[in-house]
């Protein structure tokens, strides 16, 4: 069976992103996607390897879009300001694309080379931002993990509606990131002693 004219992987991914951003990643099925594309479900198999293959492609696509958003935010910036801008871009990406953000963590094959490359690219971007501080590579990697944990934790709680107190959410984020930055400066001071 030949692929439908005009139907390609980017078109399929775009429609899948619309669905998951609106209804949630866990609601995605090939049947719903086919219906939205006005095609029969088997036609999707010409472009993706079932639902798992689609989710794998969404994870890769999501990582690439997240990288692009963060990279755009830090062009020409460095140091503390770059960390703030990168962090805000990460959180804004999750707010704008909640389903695609969730898809980043829902892949079927962690050994997929394209997925690993997309993950590596995001890590390297954060490492480049942290280079400004002169941290040893191992410590910088620990800080990448720390920042990722902060940002993922924050966005996950926000997406679940967990911030119910009458406080400005973005102010909480600013305080959190500034505390992380102060921690980096404290580490540098300790290493300098």
Residue span of the structural domain in which 164 resides: 9-192
Q: How many domains does the chain have?
A: 1
Task: Output the DSSP codes for 147-186.
Answer: HHHHHHHHHHHHHTT---SSS-HHHHHHHHHHHHHHHHHH
Q: What is the pLDDT of residue 2?
A: 42
What are the CA-CA distances from residue 69 to residues 38, 54, 77, 167, 184 (Å)? 31, 22, 14, 27, 24
Q: What is the pLDDT of residue 105?
A: 94
Tokens (6 digits) for 114: 């394209």
Q: What is the pLDDT of residue 5?
A: 53
**pTM of the entire predicted model:** 0.91
Are residues 60 and 114 in contact, defined by beta-carbon separation less than 8 angstroms?
yes
Q: What is the pLDDT of residue 100?
A: 97
Does residue 182 lie in a domain region?
A: yes
Does residue 4 lie in a domain region?
A: no
Does residue 73 lie in a domain region?
A: yes
Does residue 53 lie in a domain region?
A: yes
Separation between Cα atoms, residue 55 and residue 108, nearest integer Å: 7
Are residues 92 and 159 in contact, defined by beta-carbon separation less than 8 angstroms?
no
Domain holding 65: CATH number? 1.10.357.10
With a cut of 70, list the residues of the chain below it in pLDDT.
1-5, 193
């Amino acid at each position: 069976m030949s692929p439908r004219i005009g139907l390609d992987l980017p078109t399929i991914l775009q429609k899948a992103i619309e669905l998951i951003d609106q209804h949630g990643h866990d609601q995605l099925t090939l049947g719903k996607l086919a219906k939205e594309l006005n095609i029969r479900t088997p036609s999707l198999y010409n472009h993706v390897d079932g639902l798992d293959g689609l989710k794998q492609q969404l994870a890769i696509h999501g990582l690439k879009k997240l990288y692009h958003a963060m990279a755009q935010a830090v062009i020409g910036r460095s140091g503390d300001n770059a960390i703030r801008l990168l962090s805000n871009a990460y959180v804004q990406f999750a707010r704008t694309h909640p389903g695609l953000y969730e898809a980043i963590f829902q892949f079927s094959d962690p050994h997929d080379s394209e997925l690993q490359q997309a993950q590596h690219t995001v890590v390297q971007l954060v490492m480049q931002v942290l280079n400004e501080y002169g941290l040893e590579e191992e410590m910088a990697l620990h800080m990448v993990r720390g920042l990722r944990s902060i940002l993922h934790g924050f966005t996950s709680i926000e997406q679940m509606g967990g911030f119910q107190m009458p406080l400005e959410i973005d102010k909480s984020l600013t305080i959190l990131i500034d505390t992380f930055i102060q921690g980096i400066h404290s580490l540098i001071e300790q290493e300098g002693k």
